[in-house]
Structure 1
C-alpha cells in the first residue's frame, strides 16, 4: 500500500430537517472525520485507505459499503462482533443552527488497539498517515492506537498529519492537551483552529513554538474567513471561496483533504491552501459530511460563477 492511511471511527449518521424530538423524515448516511478525509482524497485521485472498526450490524455494513463505493481501501478495516457501530445525529435546533448528538460510548470504533495500528502502518507503508484528536478521546486503547500509528509512521518513513478536531463532549481541554502534545514529536503537519492552538503548546506565541519544536507545517483554519499556513520559512493566507452555505458540517475535513491532496501532488503552500478552501466551498454548498466533496475535474467549476449552465 502507498497513498494515505486515515485512522479513526466512522459512524452511521442520521439527519433530520427539524428538531429530532419532533420525529418526521430522516436521511441515513455515514460520518467520521477521518473517513471524510479519505473520501475527499479518493475523489481527488489519490489512493486512500481507512483503518477502523465497525460493529457486526447493518450500520456497520452501511459504513463499509459507502467507503468501498467511494474507492476507499478497506484492507485494514475490522468488524467487532461484540461492539456496535456508533451513531451520530444531526438535527436543526434553530433556523440555521445544526445540533450534533453522539451515540458512541462503547462503540466498535473505540476498540482500536496499538497492535493493529502498528501492524497496519508497518504492512502498508503509506506515504502519509492522517490522524485526528477525536480518536484518542474515544478510549484508552484508542489513544494508545493513535500514538502507535504516529510512532510507527515515523519509523517507516511516512509523514504524519494531525487535525486537532477537539470535541468538548468527549474530553476536557487538559486531557486533550496531554494526549495531543504526546503525539507532536511524530507529527509533520498540524491543522488547528485558533482556539485549539493552546491544546498543542503552552507558549504564548503558538505557531513559532510549534515550528521550533519540529512541526514542519502549522495550518490554522479560520472557517468562513479562510486559512493561514506556516512553515519555518513561509507564512501565507488564503481567503475562503465565496459561496452560499447550505451546511457547514464537514467543511474542516474537506479543507484538510484538499490541502493534503495538493501536498501529495508536490504543490507549493499557496496551492495547498487554494485547493483546501476550494474543497471546503464545495462541502458547505451541499448537505452532508462528504457527499458534496469535489473530484479533481470539479475543482475549476467554482471559477465559472453562480448560475452557469454546463451544456
Structure 2
C-alpha cells in the first residue's frame, strides 16, 4: 500500500491535571499534539503507512517529539531540522458550564519560519497516494502558506489525492493576510474537504440556505448542511466529497457527535450522545484520520467510510491527549452498536 503524507505543526502540549484551572495548578502534564500529526497517528494505528512532515529545531525537546511519533509507527525521516523552537500550547480542561481554554505560545516556531524549497515535495510524494493538510498551517506565516501550496500543486501534478480540514482559527492569522485571502487558492487543489459550517462561513462566506443553525442543546440537523456542501463543491469543482462534522454542545462535558458527507448525494451518520468527555482536543483530527481510512478501505461505500470516521472520533473523546489510540476492531464494534462500555476480559 502506498503511503499517506501529512504536513503541519506539532506542538508541546502542557495541560493542567484533571479539571484544574491554570491559576490552581502547580504542575502541567507534557505531551505533544497538532492536527496533521494527530491524523498521522490515527492512520498508523489502523495499519496505514504514513509519514509526517514538519520543521523542528535541533534540540532535545524536538528529539523527544520525534521519538513520540516514531513510537506510534509514524515515519519521520523527512522532518526538516532548523529554527529555534518547538511551539507550545497550554490547555485547561473545562467541565459542565465552564469551557476549556487553550493558550498558544507558538510565535517564531521552526515551522512558522519554513520557506518554499525546504521540502523536496516531488521526491517525497512520488510514491504516495494521499496528501493531507489543515487550515492551521497556512495561518502560521506566509512561508508556511507558500510551502503548503507548493506541496498541494506537486501532489496535483503527481495524481496524489489531496484532503484538507479547513480548521479556521481566527487568532492564528496574524501575519497580515486573512484566511479568506489565502485559503481559496489552496483549497482549489483539494479532492476531499472537511470542515464545519463555521469554517465555511468565516473563510468563504458560505452558510446554510434558509436555516438558522443552533448548536446549543445538542440537536443538530444534518440535512441543514446539504446546501453548505453543494456550495463548497460549486466553489471548488475539483472536490469530489465534502464532509461536515456535527457537534451539538449541551455543555463542556456532554456533546452529541455526528457527521454528514456529500458526494453523489447526502449521507448522514448515526448520532452519538457523549455524556462524559475525557478530552475533546483532537476530536476533529480523529474524524479525519477515520475518514481517510474509511475512504481507502471502503472505496465504493461512502456511508461506511463516514460511519467509521464518526465512530472513531466518538471513541477519541474518551482518550486523554491529542492522539486517538484506538484499533480498527474497537471502532467497528462501536459501529455495530456496542455502546455498553463493558469490561473486555
TM-score, normalised via structure 1 length? 0.92
On the 8 A contact 1:2/1:124 being kept in 2, the answer is no
C-alpha spacing 1:10/1:265, structure 2 compared with 1 (3 Å) = same
SS of 2:92's partner is strand
Matched, 1:239 2:270: yes
Counterpart among 221, 226, 243 of residue 245 in structure 2: 221
Which of 209, 212, 232 is the matching residue for 1:210? 232
Contact 2:197 2:228 in 1 (8 A): no
Aligned to 2:250: none
* Mapped partners of 1:106, 1:307: distance in 2: 44
Partners of 1:120 and 1:288 in 2: how far apart?
Answer: 30
Do 1:76 and 1:120's aligned partners in 2 also have CA atoms closer than 8 Å? no
Alpha-carbon separation, structure 1, partners of 2:72 and 2:206: 41
Matching residue of 1:251: 283
Could you say which residue in structure 2 is the equivalent of 1:294?
Answer: 326
- Tell me if the contact between 1:240 and 1:281 (Cα under 8 Å) persists in the aligned partners: no
Residue 2 (structure 2) aligns with: 2
Task: Provide the residue aligned with 1:192 in structure 2.
Answer: 195
Q: Provide Cα deviations, 1:148-182, integer angstroms capped at 9, x if missing partner.
A: 11111000110100101111110279711221111
2:213 corresponds to: none
- Counterpart Cα distance in 1 of 2:69 and 2:257: 31
1:36-55 counterparts in 2 under 5 A? 36-55=38-57
Identify the residue that residue 89 of structure 2 maps to in structure 1. 88
Q: Is the Cα–Cα contact under 8 Å of residues 163 and 190 in structure 1 kept in the other structure?
A: yes
Unaligned runs of at least 5 residues, structure 1? none
- What's the secondary structure of 1:21's corresponding residue? helix
Q: Residue by residue, what CA displacement relative to the aligned partner does 1:256-277 show, whole Å, maximum 9, x if unpaired?
A: 1001101111331101111111
CA-CA distance at 1:90 after TM superposition: 0.4
- Mean alpha-carbon deviation: is it higher for 170-179 or for 11-20? 170-179
Aligned residues: 307
8 Å contact from structure 1 (residues 38, 257) kept in 2: yes
By how many angstroms is 1:93 displaced? Answer: 5.5
Check if 1:79 corresponds to 2:81.
Answer: yes
Whole-angstrom distance in 2 between the partners of 1:60 and 1:20 = 25
**Does structure 1 retain, via aligned residues, the 8 Å contact 2:244–2:260?**
yes
What's 2:317 paired with?
A: 284
- Deviations 1:124-147 (Å, cap 9, x if unpaired)? 321110010000111110010111
Shift of 1:191: 0.5
Stretch moving more, 95-104 or 202-211: 202-211
Greater Cα offset, 135-144 or 173-182: 173-182
The answer as to 2:153 corresponding to 1:151 is yes
Q: Which residues of structure 2 form unaligned runs of 5+? A: 208-226, 248-255
CA distance in 2, matches of 1:37, 1:123: 18
- Please say if residues 257 and 310 of structure 2, whose CA atoms lie closer than 8 Å, have aligned partners that are also in contact: no
Match of 2:251? none
- Cα offset for 1:113? 2.4
TM-score (norm 2): 0.83
**Residue 103 in 1 paired to residue 105 in 2?**
yes
Looking at structure 2, the residues matched to 247 and 72 of structure 1 have their Cα atoms a distance apart, in angstroms, of: 22
Q: Which residue of 2 aligns with 1:269?
A: 302
